[in-house]
Amino acid sequence: MVKIPFKATQPLAKGVPMTPARRKRLIFSYAPDCRAGHVLSALFFSLDSVEGYRRRFSLEDDTIRYPYAVHERVPNTALFLIAVVAPFCIMPIINIITVRSWWDFHNSSLGLILGLAITGAFTQVVKITVGRPRPDIISRCQPPSGLEDPQYSLTDWTICTQEDVHILRDGFRSFFSGHSSLSFAGLGFLSFYLAGKLHLFDSRGHAGKAWLALSPFMAAALVAISRTMDYRHHWQDVLVGSIVGSAFAYFSYRQYYPDLSSPLSHRPYSPRIKREEDHVGLPTHIANHNPFTHKPADATDPSGNGRYNDSNSNSLDGNSNEDYELEGTVPRPGPGRLEDVWREGSSGAPQASRGLPEASPAPYVPPAAAPIQSPDPTFTPVRPAPPEEPL
């Protein structure tokens, strides 16, 4: 039986009350993420009514002569419930069962929104740019009876007699599948979230954890397959949409969580505090470890009981020295803020960007020559006696 490393009795993390000014700074550290989510979501909905490119097609092409399905197996309302509502409802439950962290709830919600927004906007841009006909385009187009392709050419959409503009416009948005990309973006993020909480890559090889973590991917695959059953997409559209959704899901997950192979994969990243002094008054703890004597933190108890190691060590590689981070989070790796990275031209540049005086280099001092020891005048060497001559 697989032992899931959950600690259901873990109390909720409590910290020191924050002042309104510091709370405002903390919230505004995620303002770029919120703005990006709003802009991409608005782009997704606004592009739905844009007249995109429409490729020519052949009336004799059997791959686009399938019937138009009025009732879809997974309509847009069901897709919204599966790809958006379901992850939003399941992740807080997992949070309560495992880490019980407000920051985990915040990061998971923001990561899911970002992944869906990026996927939706990118999908819409590609759809209206490529303009590939759907497998049911001839049924949507309703060309005049007896019409044939022009000699040495293909037919365009102007021969269509379809009166519903939306049905005809949507018929040229086959590549790639939006249902596939969005379902894999939402449920894929949930799958990565589960994998991180279960420590799927902890080198123990539990098949039960793998099946549980991959179950959202299976649900997303069923949604993608239904698009070929309704003749809404070609198999290439479904395949590419699934890959794109999974890629953006992992991209958004890694913005807020460490790698799945990390010993602290169950914890979210710390908030983006711009300055070190912003940590004052926040619920913090100190990870003060010697990089030469402290070994990397392990996420599980060394006794092998499958429980989390709840020590104060949040170091990913044992090299943390006076790392101040919020309770239940992992310090963000990397060189730090982009402003400091851009200005870093020498060893003193990061200090100058923070308003600190530059440290002048120490003058070179050559090593002192070893003193030559003079012989002791009172010392008399003892000479060995000469060998005796034989008789």
Q: In whole angstroms, how large is the CA radius of gyration of the chain? A: 32
Active-site entry in 179, 199, 234, 266? 179
Nearest to 220 by CA among 281, 277, 177: 177
| Structural contact between residues 94 and 88, judged by C-beta atoms closer than 8 angstroms | no
As given in the structure block, the two tokens for residue 48 are 């739905």
233 is catalytic: yes
Active-site entry in 233, 234, 266, 289? 233
Which residue is it, tokens 């490393």?
A: 5
Measured CA distances, 387 to 45, 381, 382, 383, 390 (Å): 111, 18, 15, 12, 9
How far apart CA 4 and CA 301 sit, in angstroms, is: 13
| Structural contact between residues 206 and 214, judged by C-beta atoms closer than 8 angstroms | no
| Structural contact between residues 218 and 278, judged by C-beta atoms closer than 8 angstroms | no
Half-sphere CA count of 5, side-chain side, radius 13 A:
29
How far apart CA 109 and CA 92 sit, in angstroms, is: 9
The residues assigned a catalytic role are 179, 233
